Structure formats: structure tokens, C-alpha cells
Structure 1
């Protein structure tokens, strides 16, 4: 079985692969399971800022949420998936709780020493989520891994380059899962 995960799903997929010998391939899209408390705190603070803006938008009954967020300094990448989150998520609760996630978020690598599962990390060259500084540690922990870069890609690789990402997934699955994807 091959497991693919993006962002938080990539961290969940990593934990699954580390604990499950049935996983024959792991693809982690634009997130590093290796982090520092400082980088994670910055990441969570940015998300909390974004969520608090969404709470403000709801309180003010804003109809053009993307324009509202941009006017408050949110980046284009932060705004890209806002419609679904704005309509479905309890942003007030998430904003209130997100800073408490730092310890759990940072502690993922303490669960294992090495992972031998064939692994590909896919990162966008315009995304900060898999930093160059993390690559040596990734290679040390994920001893059967490689990194694929998508030039110009941000954290939303699946929206920017759906065909390219789909091809990467299919090729990796065909090489590592024991089955053939068309």
C-alpha cells in the first residue's frame, strides 16, 4: 500500500508509514516532518492571524472574503482555499486552540529513528515548508528517500500543477506499491 499526504496529511502519512510495515511507499507533499519549535511557532502564528481575520470577516458579515483578507495583509497563498474553509470550519475555535498545537506538531520525529519505506518528498520551490536546511536530516531519517521539486510551486501544488503532481504520484505508485495505476 502506498500512502500520500499533503501538509498536515503528509505528517499523518509519515506516522502511518513509520508504524506500518504494509506501507510500501510514502509520498509527502510540501511539508517536512522535521521541524524546529521556532519555525512551527511562526507557522502556527501565521495561521492564527489568518483564522482571526476569518472570524472578523464572519462577525462583519463580509461577502467577498478573499478581498477582505487581502486588504488586511493576508497573502495570495493564504487566500487560495478560503471559500471552503470560511464556509465550513469553526474558525473561532480553531483560532483559539491553534497555539496549543506547538508541542504535538513539533514532536513528530521523536516517534521513530529511521524510516526505510521508499519515500519521495515533493516540494514547491516557492514554498517554505520543506526548507533546504531540513534536507540533510530528512536523508538521515528517511534512508530510502528523494526530493522532487516543482519549479515555482507554492504550498498549493495540487491546485497549481495537478497533472504534474498526478503523474508523480502514479509513477511512484507504479514503482513502489506492487500495483499499476493508469
Structure 2
């Protein structure tokens, strides 16, 4: 089993934080800091093909959940809470469904347990339009991405994973493998019903959690609760971190 890269902070009840597509463990850094202050043991994870974690041609959610379980075994964690955003939320849900004795509590940021028709064609086109080693600055990368990705917030999010190394600029995610595995990333397979406490947090302007998803959520997660953050889109944890963090910490405090 491939060993995920992670960052561990604090002491207390363990909470795993899992980022979304094109992200890294730094994405939920503000939440990690807050939970550490509240005396939790926080493990922030780079998912497969992201950050410093291994590269793999397998990104189906069963495989990714197994990687999370292997990390917990390595860290001698027998019970934990998991907070995941977007793709990370699907990894969290799959882990809870496959290993219910491991996951005591679940917080899912703006994603439902469904297969999506969303596509990131423009994002992949932008990422494939240039070799980051050929650029001289982050601003140059932004200008090149702008030809394909109009949304400033999306470009800013992507550029957080652009790093300058001794070999030049490079993405902290594997563009080729993410594109190869994309159908698995937007897909979903229900593994089992999870009966633990769950909080789904929706961005008001996002179309990732819709009213028609509610019966599907309840079917798979019968104890699910839903909160909505006004004025936010899919990246709600970055747009209104104080509210997202407060909802998360209140739910965790209630159920841990």
C-alpha cells in the first residue's frame, strides 16, 4: 500500500483533514490550526497524486479509502473524525462506509455521495497549455491559465499548488494522472450505509449539493445534518473560513 504524506499537529482525539482535487494538505491549514488550539490531534493529508504523496494510476474511492486506513494503522489510530472537502469529502465518505469502526464522526464540505457530470476541461486545458518549468514567475503562469480559466478564484486556488523548486516551477499535483483518473474522481459507488453522525456543509452558490441529492444523502448517511454558508461557492472553507471552521468545530465538539 502506498504511504500518504501527512502533517501531524497537536495532541488529543485524532481528526484527519482531507483536501479536494488540485489541492494539498495546506488547503485546510486554518482549520488545522484552530483544531490544534482546541486540543485535538490533527493529521492533514496529501491525497494520492497531490502534494508529496505517491503517484498512482488508481484513484477510485475504495483505493483512496484503503490508503487512509493504512495511514491510520501506521499512526496507531483506531478511532478518528474525518473532515473532507470536495474530492476529500468523497474520500472521507468512502472511508466511513468501508471502515465504520474507524470513523466516529464525519464532516463533508460541499460534495454529495453521487456521480457528477461536472467537468474540469478548461482547467486541464490550462494546465496542459504550458510546462511550468518554462515560466519565470507565478504571474506568468496566471496569464497563461487565464486563456483557459476565466474565474479568478479558480486560478488563485490552482496557483497555490505551483511551487518553485531547484528544477524550476512545478505543480504539486500530477496533471497527467489526475486527467487519467478523472472519471473515477467525479464518479461514486456506494459501499455501505454509514450510521455515524455526519455534517454536510454546502456553499450557497455551489451546485455540488442540490435539493435532489437530499434523499440520496439520507439513504447512505441517515444521521446526516446539513448547514449552508451564505454567499459562498464550492471553496467555502477559503471564502468564509471563520464560519466553516466554527460549524466544523461545534459539530465535532458535540459528537466526540
Partner of 2:236: 157
* Unmatched tracts of structure 2, length 5 or more: 1-79, 164-169
**Is the alpha carbon distance of 1:90 and 1:62 closer, same or farther for their aligned partners in structure 2, counting shifts above 3 Å?**
same
Partner of 1:105: 185
Partner of 2:114: 34
* TM-score normalised by length of structure 1: 0.78
Partner of 1:117: 196
Distance 1:71 1:48 in 2: 12
User: C-alpha displacement at 1:7, in angstroms?
Assistant: 1.6
1:5 equivalent in alignment to 2:79? no
Give CA-to-partner distance per residue, 1:120-169, whole Å, 9 cap, x none: 11110112222333222112211110211111111221221111111111
Higher strand share: 2
Across the aligned residues of Structure 1 and Structure 2, the Cα RMSD in angstroms comes to 2.4
Give CA-to-partner distance per residue, 1:25-79, whole Å, 9 cap, x none: 100001222124xx1xx424344234224x3665454541334433444312311
Q: Count matched residues.
A: 169
Partner of 1:180: none
Distance 1:47 1:69 in 2: 8
| 1:31 and 1:123 in contact (8 A); partners too | yes
Larger RCO of the pair (alpha carbons < 8 Å, separation 6+): 1
User: C-alpha displacement at 1:97, in angstroms?
Assistant: 3.0
1:89 equivalent in alignment to 2:168? no
User: C-alpha displacement at 1:106, in angstroms?
Assistant: 4.8
1:70 equivalent in alignment to 2:146? yes
* Unmatched tracts of structure 1, length 5 or more: 178-182
Partner of 1:79: 155
**Is the alpha carbon distance of 1:62 and 1:31 closer, same or farther for their aligned partners in structure 2, counting shifts above 3 Å?**
same
**Is the alpha carbon distance of 1:23 and 1:132 closer, same or farther for their aligned partners in structure 2, counting shifts above 3 Å?**
same
Match of 2:105 among 11, 25, 35: 25
| 2:110 and 2:202 in contact (8 A); partners too | yes
Distance 1:126 1:137 in 2: 20
* TM-score normalised by length of structure 2: 0.58
User: C-alpha displacement at 1:80, in angstroms?
Assistant: 2.2
1:49 equivalent in alignment to 2:131? no
